[in-house]
Structures are given as structure tokens and as C-alpha cells.
Structure 1
């Protein structure tokens, strides 16, 4: 029945009609929890189900007390990335139900600590393996739509003012639609997901997003008039300028992968500093790939230097302008991810650069009156040290994030 309704929706257009629903939950200041402690393949997980106990597995090293400290230091919610891959690989049945119950229990644990929760369905690129983002946006789409409905049913048993469901983190499709005028696929697909939620959870807050990796420009390409639903938040992510925020990231291609020690803001990069950074990046690329693309690295650094320092807030400004254009209250905008790498393989950037970067993002979001969630809790982009008592955040980071913290 639900599948028939979803197909009809896709054929007739994505506009959802019906009575107005509940108001969305109110979010202000949040932090992204981790996605996985053990980064395993789906097959490895299914071969040893203990790897999925607990699920989500961040609960292995995040105690209820740590969550309480987050609330004490001024956060009001956590964004809880949750990989739907193993649930899709299991398919409907007892094992999938067990993992869905785990999502609910993890949410309940955060709520008991005084935090609201955004359950973020956050698949990984997994190539040919079942359950990756490629599979979800392809052959597994009908299964994913049904799964989202089942997760919504379980979350609907939690207090409606404390939980939200984010339908899909950073959809990778439709960049051609956003930037080259191609026909978009994502609006109808997102509406199909929303219909699956509403068939099971009429009042659950739902987080919607643009495609093309969740960019602000992708959000601004959407027509929100096609979504007749009051209980929604609109999400985007902001990592610009990416050469700074992703420098040294092993998961990025060149040039970001090989650039390191790039100062923030762009105006801080002198000729001498630029030359030193470029030379070191070329050495790293040559060592890793046999030769360096000198022109690529030089251009990336020159482009970074040419940015005005205001580039850091351009995505926030773009999303806010879109919301104002459509009459969307700004408190329904959600900066779901922002942050920067500050440590790679034990090597750290000057802390002042990182703190200035996250402070500028946060100040712009606060000034616009939109919710935000910094990425992430611990690790190379983390705001907390795993060695700190109960992972209490240090005073400098608290100031950068505008948190009272009580330090």
C-alpha cells in the first residue's frame, strides 16, 4: 500500500497535501557524534553480529556522563550519524528490528542526559557492497524508503519535542541539476521519503536537505513550496573554504590531500608562506603518487589567497537568503555540519587557526538565528579531547563556540 502511494506521488509530482502538522523541534547548539568506531565492511559486520552490539557503536566509548557534560557545557542537542547499511543488508526481520531498537535506545540515552537528538541516516560510499550510498540511490531505493518508514515508526514513540529524523545525509546525486541545469531527481525522491515517514509518524520532525553533498547551493535550488509540511527543518553543510577545512584529509583527492599548514583566514597567507606550503605539498604528492601536479597545487593555493575572508560565511549567507526568499523562518534552517581538520597523523595545525575558523562559522549562524551542529566530538576534527575528564571541552573551544561551559 505504502509503495503504491509512493509511486503515485512520484508520478504526479512531489507536492504533499493534507492538514498542517506539528511544529518542528527547536534546535540551537549541537555537536555531531561519531559514525563508527570500527570502520568495517558490511560483510564483516554480518559475519560477526557482535560488531553491531551496541548499535550505533559510538555508545562503546561515550558514557551517559559524557552526554550529560555536553548538556552542562551548553549544547542542547546531538546529531547522531547512523549508517543504514547493515539494516539494509539484513533486510526486514528480527535483526533489522534489533538495530532499529538500538537507534531508539541510543536516542533515549541522549535524551535522559538532557539533550535533543537528530537521528542522521548517514550511509557511506561502499562501491559494490550492499548498503552504500551508491546502492541506496540506485537499486536499493524502494528498500530504503520502506526502512525510513520503519525507523520513523520507532522514533515516533519518543517525545516529539526531543527527536528529529534526517532522511539522508549528503545525497551525492544532482550536482548537474544544481550547476548545469539538468533535470533534478532528488526533490521527488525526498518527497517519497517524507511520505513514508508521514504514513507512520505524522508529528515527527523531519530534516530535509538539498542534493549534491548537502551544499547550500543545492538547498537553494529547491522549491520548498513543493513540501506542504510544517514539521520540517532544512539542512545544509558548510566547509568552505575547503582547502583549509579539509587540508591533509586522506579521503580527499589532490590538492586538499597533500596541502598542510595552510593558515586561516586567507589574508594571512603571505608569498613566502604560500611558496613553502606549495613546495611541501608537491613533495608529499610526488612521494605518494610518483609525481606531483604542480599546476594543480599552485592554482589551489592561489585561489585560496584570492578569496575574501568573508568566504567562510558565504554558504550561510546563501542558505539564509533562500529561506528569506521563501518566507521560511530562520529557526527552521539547520547548519548540520561545519568544522575543520586540526590534527592529521599526530601532526596538529596551530590551534588559533582552527578556533578562528569555527568561531567565524558559529558567529554567522548565531547572528542569522539558525541552528548549528559542529563536526565533531573527538578525533581530527573534534572539539573534545578523548583524554579530558568526561571529555569536557576546554575554555578556548567553548569561547569559539559561544558556549557558557562553566569552566
Structure 2
């Protein structure tokens, strides 16, 4: 399988100009500074993934907020200074937000919203295509509804064609349905050229990585578990805590009895096979463990997924640098931070 050269080990900057506590200048100016990029570079990574919400650079009526492009510009400058490549990830677009499923219904049947999505990519590509030797473009963060796979492929093609007006060389990342599941990669269209990268996210098993996550309706408050455990032990925890069956679906798909690199080999296998068939690189744009998980289990999980990434040549970016319940600079991982940095 082809590798995504220059984008093998990365770090997300979640919470800066995406999923913000407050969408205000004071936050943008203070959340990430040059010294943060310098620190990330010292960890031995080769790139940063920069999530961007449309409403940072556009009013709700589509009017550009030109002054806020400086935050993207600053990140590009800092990454250049510290020899890091950059992925610009459109995390949210007008009418489609991965964490507001009900509010996003109808996006793929709304020509006005789809045209606005394309127009935004037209502007971003026109402005930043000149950096295509060290900057890649990720079309949209996470497509949720499994029923829109064909519509998403069609819209993604339009966005790719728009970017190609400005750059024939820029890498373009596209992910699949069901929250960018690795299992959805084979439903993506064949790449339009050799600069298309198949993208996925991996937080499996979520029983471990999202334990006690307050935004997960099915997750009991105060629920804790370890990694690794056997599949039987995870299934018992689901039953004992009255969680829905879909929480164990990934184990059935993997067909393994124990956690370890074999689990990740199994769930990555269809995507790897498809990427090889299509001669496209495969990339994991997000992976990580919530701050509610035990530190030793977090290290164990990172060891296994890291081994799978290395084995198969899959580039990746950890979620995330700071805060956002997953931050690698937060107190909950102080005791194992150096170990985790080695496993990026």
C-alpha cells in the first residue's frame, strides 16, 4: 500500500478554530500560539491536522470574516518554521455538523447548502493552493448517516474538482460514512488521481476510549473499563450496564476474542485491501483516549494501535494536543506523557 509521505505522525489542534468553547477573538488568540507548534515539533511528528469550522471564517449568511483567516495563515507560517506539514480539515460546514445529526438532516438534498460547501472550498483552495507542497486539504470531517454514501461521493467529487482548478498536486483527503469509520472506506469512489488519500478515524473499542463520555447517550455516567480485556469481558460490561448492542458490533466485525494488534489488523483489513486495490494511501485523521480512562490502559491502547499503524504504513494524527477531553498536555496523562509521545 502506498504511504502518505510527509504525513506519517501527526497531532490534531482540536478546539482552536473548531469546536470552540467560545467563538471569540480572545479564544483564537490564546488557545494555540507559536510555542505550542514548537513543542509539538519537538515530539518528532511530521505534520499537524488543523480542524476548521466554517463559522470562524464566515457569517451565517455566508459573508466572509476575512480577519479570521489570519489564524490559518499563522499556523501555516509556524508549521513552515518548524518543518511541519499541515492538513486543513473542514470540520464543520454550513448545514452539516457531525455532532448535530438532526440539524444536519437534509444537507445532501439541499442544493443551496451544497453549493455553499463548494464555494467555501473554492475560496480555501484559491487562497492556499500555493502551499500544496506542504499542505493537504481534508474535505469534511465526519459523514454520519450511512444512507448518504452515494450522495457524499458525488459531492466529494465536486469538491475535489474545485480544488483541482487551483492545484493539481495538493493531496486531498476523503473519508466515509458512519463517522468516518474505517469500515466505510471501501464505499468511497475510486480516486480521481494519485493525490487522493483515503481517510478514517479510529476510537475502537469505544467502550474503552470513550468511557464515561458525557456526550454519548448510551454511556453510563461513571462507567470505567480497562484495556486490554477480552471481548467476553467487554460484552459482559455492556450487558451489566444495560448498554445497546451496537456497542459490541465492532467486536463481531473483527472476529477476535482478545484485544491487541490483531484487533486493529482485523478492523483495518478491508480498508487496507481497498486502498491497495485503488493504489491510494490510507490515513487515520483521529485516534485517542478520553481523560476518564486509566493511564496505564491508555498506554496499552496506544501501543497496539501504533503497532498496527507502523505495520501497515498508515499515517495518522492523534486527537488531540490540548483539552477537548482527550488532550495529551493535560494533567491526566502527566505520568505517561513521555511514553505516549514515543507512540505517536
TM-score, reference length from structure 1: 0.70
After TM superposition, list the pairs within 5 Å mapping 1:386-405 onto structure 2: 394-401=337-344
Question: Partners of 2:301 and 2:170 in 1: how far apart?
Answer: 34
Q: Secondary structure at the match of 2:88?
A: strand
Question: Partners of 2:25 and 2:284 in 1: how far apart?
Answer: 29
- Structure 1 gaps of 5+ residues are 1-22, 46-50, 179-183, 282-293, 344-348, 402-407
Alpha-carbon RMSD across the aligned residues, in angstroms, is: 3.6
Hey, what does 1:13 align to over in structure 2?
A: none
1:35 is the counterpart of 2:7: no
User: CA offsets per residue over residues 39-82 of structure 1, 9 Å max, x none?
Assistant: 669xx85xxxxx1467xx2x513231221121122111110111
Hey, what does 1:266 align to over in structure 2?
A: 229
Deviation at residue 168 of structure 1 after TM alignment: 0.5
Residues 17 and 56, structure 2, Cα contact 8 Å, conserved in 1: no
Question: Partners of 2:266 and 2:67 in 1: how far apart?
Answer: 42
Hey, what does 2:116 align to over in structure 1?
A: 143
Question: Partners of 1:200 and 1:169 in 2: how far apart?
Answer: 22
| Greater C-alpha radius of gyration | 1
1:116 is the counterpart of 2:85: yes
| Structure 1 pair 252–189 and aligned structure 2 pair: CA distance change class (3 A) | same
Residues 274 and 301, structure 1, Cα contact 8 Å, conserved in 2: no
After TM superposition, list the pairs within 5 Å mapping 1:359-378 onto structure 2: 359-378=303-322
After TM superposition, list the pairs within 5 Å mapping 1:3-402 onto structure 2: 26-36=6-16, 45=23, 51-52=24-25, 57=28, 60-91=30-61, 93=63, 95-123=64-92, 124-125=97-98, 134=105, 137=108, 138=110, 139-158=112-131, 160-173=132-145, 175-176=146-147, 184-224=150-190, 227-254=191-218, 256-258=219-221, 260-267=223-230, 281=241, 294=242, 296=243, 307-309=257-259, 310-328=262-280, 332-343=281-292, 349-379=293-323, 380-385=325-330, 394-401=337-344
Deviation at residue 382 of structure 1 after TM alignment: 2.0
TM-score, reference length from structure 2: 0.82
| Structure 1 pair 128–323 and aligned structure 2 pair: CA distance change class (3 A) | closer
Deviation at residue 105 of structure 1 after TM alignment: 2.8
| Structure 1 pair 299–28 and aligned structure 2 pair: CA distance change class (3 A) | closer
Aligned residue pairs total: 330
Q: Secondary structure at the match of 1:397?
A: helix
User: CA offsets per residue over residues 254-309 of structure 1, 9 Å max, x none?
Assistant: 1x3446221112328759x957x876x5xxxxxxxxxxxx3x36995799698532
Residues 171 and 196, structure 2, Cα contact 8 Å, conserved in 1: yes
Q: Secondary structure at the match of 1:201?
A: coil
Deviates more, 1:375-384 or 1:113-122: 375-384
Deviation at residue 211 of structure 1 after TM alignment: 2.5
Deviation at residue 249 of structure 1 after TM alignment: 1.1
- Structure 2 gaps of 5+ residues are none
User: CA offsets per residue over residues 108-148 of structure 1, 9 Å max, x none?
Assistant: 2222222111011001357599xx75575444111111111
Deviation at residue 150 of structure 1 after TM alignment: 0.2
